[in-house]
Amino acid sequence: MYTILNENKLNNSLKNLSPEKQAVFGIMTPQHMVEHLILLVKLSNGGLKGQLMRSEETAAKWKQGLIYTDMEFPQGIRVPGQEENTLPELRYENLEKTISKLKHEVKIFDDFFQNNPNEMTMHPALGMLNYDEWKIFHTKHFTHHFKQFELI
Give residue-wise pLDDT tens across range 116-132: 999 999 999 999 999 99
Q: What is the pLDDT of residues 75-112, one digit of tens each?
A: 877 666 666 678 999 999 999 999 999 999 999 999 99
3-state secondary structure of 121: strand
**Where do the domains of the chain lie?**
7-12+27-71+91-148
pTM: 0.92
The mean per-residue pLDDT over the stretch 7-15 comes to: 89
Residue 1: band (very low, low, confident or very high) from pLDDT cuts 50, 70, 90: very low
Q: What is the pLDDT of residue 91?
A: 96
Distance of alpha carbon 41 from alpha carbon 17, whole angstroms: 19
User: Which overall architecture, per CATH, does domain 7-12+27-71+91-148 show?
Assistant: Up-down Bundle (1.20)
Q: What is the pLDDT of residue 75?
A: 82
